[in-house]
């Protein structure tokens, strides 16, 4: 029986694409003295390309932007500091985030998060979404010393929750780091659909977070039937 649901953060609970667009818009406005020679849409497009869905840290992104757009009077360190300090202000959740968490909590499903990223940065984003109280365990790769898809970070989460892999389902948007990695240690995995990738081997897939409760119920019903 499924006793716990563990989530990825970016692209699963946090609509990172929209959040990043909102941050870039604000940064371009606030630092117009240095960036106004760059059309905002062009700046945003190139930032998003270099960011590579968050898999490239922003020190490299800003260094490249400064070189390509010949940005003067401000260093990449200042731009990065602005990102680190202010991205969380622009965090946008996917629809139905809170109602989904309330639904699972009401069914006594235990909840956790496993996310790659910088510790305080990711925690600030979780706090900005107002969801920390729902989760018994939050594992952030920098603080854990291990990152997805390494099985160790999934095993850490299960151990802290005191459950076995077959009692948990993991939900994420990345086919390898989330779906295949969770399945490799015996967890079920649900793919949060993302237009940038395809995933054919998940145990289930969703477009809306409110679909999760139904899928968890289906998993448990299937297990009960198999026991008869």
Residue 15 half-sphere exposure toward CB, CA atoms < 13 A: 14
> What whole-number distance in Å separates Cα of residue 105 and Cα of residue 97?
12
Bin 224: left if φ > 0, else alpha if -120 < ψ < 50, else beta. alpha
Report pTM: 0.94
- The confidence score (pLDDT) of residue 228 equals 65
> What whole-number distance in Å separates Cα of residue 155 and Cα of residue 219?
21
Intervals of the chain under pLDDT 50: none
Contact 180, 203 (CB under 8 A): no
Contact 53, 34 (CB under 8 A): no
- The confidence score (pLDDT) of residue 198 equals 87
Instruction: Retrieve residue 227's tokens.
Output: 């026991």
H helices, E strands: number in the chain: 11, 6
Q: In this predicted model, what pLDDT tens digit does every residue of 87-117 receive, in sequence order? A: 999 999 999 999 999 999 999 999 999 999 9
Sign of CA dihedral 47, 199, 222, 4: negative
> What whole-number distance in Å separates Cα of residue 98 and Cα of residue 103?
9
> What whole-number distance in Å separates Cα of residue 109 and Cα of residue 37?
52
- The confidence score (pLDDT) of residue 225 equals 73
224's CB contacts (< 8 A; 6+ apart) are none
Element (H, E) at 205: strand 204-206
Place of tokens 């989760």: 135
- The confidence score (pLDDT) of residue 222 equals 83
């Amino acid at each position: 029986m499924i006793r716990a649901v563990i989530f990825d953060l970016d692209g699963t609970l946090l609509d990172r694409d929209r959040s990043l667009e909102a941050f870039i818009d604000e940064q371009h406005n606030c630092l117009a003295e240095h960036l106004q020679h760059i059309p905002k849409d062009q700046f945003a497009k190139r930032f998003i390309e270099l960011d590579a869905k968050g898999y490239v840290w922003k020190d490299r992104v800003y260094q490249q932007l400064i070189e390509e757009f010949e940005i003067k009077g401000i260093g990449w360190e200042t731009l990065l500091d602005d990102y680190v300090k202010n991205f969380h202000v622009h965090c946008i959740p996917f629809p139905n985030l809170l109602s989904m968490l309330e639904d699972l909590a009401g069914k006594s499903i235990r909840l956790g998060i496993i996310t790659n990223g910088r510790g305080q940065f990711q925690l600030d984003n979780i706090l900005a979404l107002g969801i920390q109280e729902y989760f018994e365990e939050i594992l952030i790769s920098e603080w854990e010393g291990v990152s997805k898809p390494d099985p160790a970070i999934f095993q850490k989460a299960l151990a802290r929750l005191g459950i076995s892999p077959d009692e948990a389902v993991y939900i994420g948007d990345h086919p390898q780091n989330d779906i295949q990695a969770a399945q490799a240690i015996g967890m079920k995995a649900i793919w949060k659909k993302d237009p940038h990738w395809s995933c054919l081997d998940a145990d289930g897939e969703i477009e809306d977070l409110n679909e999760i409760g139904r899928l968890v119920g289906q998993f448990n019903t299937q297990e009960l039937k198999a026991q008869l």
